[in-house]
Amino acid sequence: MDSHKETHQAAVLDVNGVLLANERFAASSSGYQQLEAWLATWGEIDRVGMECAGSYAAGLARFFRERDVEVIEVNFPHRAVRARRGKDDAIDAEMAARKVLSGERRP
């Protein structure tokens, strides 16, 4: 997830790294619930990756941890991807999901 003050952008990948969906949600209690319900349509939620889990995503991270979902903070920026594809919330959310899938974690 790419987190901001007003919204969170979320991307879903399958186990092979195929992008299944990318959607934006409000950074609020109701937005967290909508995000959780949306993610659940793709299967069981066992882990989520997010940028800045201690900042704009702190509430969302707490929301998922309370539901026993592993929260993985991912490193940014993705310089090579940004050089090729540009800077965009949907791209950042996808790259966060790819880092979780690859097993990359914040040091």
Q: What is the mean pLDDT of residues 3-13?
A: 92
More confident residue, 50 or 20: 20
Q: How far is CA 34 from CA 23, 29, 51, 91, 95, in A?
A: 11, 9, 19, 21, 22
Q: What is the mean pLDDT of residues 75-93?
A: 64
Q: How many CA atoms lie within 13 A of 48 on its CB side?
A: 33
pLDDT digits (tens, 9 = 90+) for 22-67: 999 999 999 999 999 999 999 999 889 887 666 888 999 999 999 9
- At 101 the pLDDT is 85
User: Model-level pTM?
Assistant: 0.80
